[in-house]
Amino acid sequence: MIILETERLILRNWRPSDRDLFREINADPKVMEFFPFRRSYEESDAVLEKLNGMITDTGIGFYAMALKETGEPMGFCGLSPTNLPEIFPDGMIEIGWRLATRYWGNGYVTEAARALLDDALTTRNMKAVVSFAVAENLRSTAVMERIGMQRQPWLDFKHPRVPDTHPHLKQHVVYVAAAELWQPKQTV
């Protein structure tokens, strides 16, 4: 099921043939640099099933991101409940992404995330979408800025699920896109 299309990309539900790519990105030390863990094949498979279930049940989740021209999966970009009730109000939606390193530097995440934000704030009528990352994760925060999200330093937090054994990964910065301030992408 296709969720959204952009000029170069398709965001869709996951297919069984995407399993190897999903395993790859969850085990790659560069992709997972700002996470306190890597996932085994079994753990990745379980998360993939959970994502597909969420997308099927709710219409939102971390969608497979594929090249439109070839259908080749590259990673994911999507919308999901934050599931951090001690930090964000219930029902708050986050936007997030992860991409295999061989696709880095081509603007794919920016393209997909901008389209998803536009869809969330204009078509789905969400009031706001957040994104958060480890403070030193400059690649992700640069995407947040490129897609029009605004840094909200008073919302920064120490991630409660990051173990104390990884203190350099605990501090997270928060960006927000609010519907009332959103500027939809102009079509030419």
Domain ranges of the chain: 2-181
CA 152 from centre of chain: 18
pLDDT recorded at residue 186: 53
pLDDT at residue 185 in the model: 62
This prediction has a pTM of 0.93
Sign of CA dihedral 115, 76, 36, 91: positive
**CA 86 to CA 88: how far, in whole Å?**
6
| Whole-number Cα distances in Å, 84 to 21, 143, 173 | 27, 22, 14
Given this model, what pLDDT does residue 188 score? 40
CATH for 2-181 is 3.40.630.30
Q: Which parts of the chain have pLDDT scores under 50?
A: 187-188
Query: 72-81 pLDDT, tens per residue?
Result: 999 999 999 9
Half-sphere exposure of 17 (CA within 13 A, CB side): 6
Q: Where are the beta strands (DSSP E) in the chain?
A: 2-5, 9-12, 61-67, 73-81, 93-99, 128-134, 150-151, 157-158, 171-178
Alpha-carbon span 97 to 100, nearest angstrom: 10
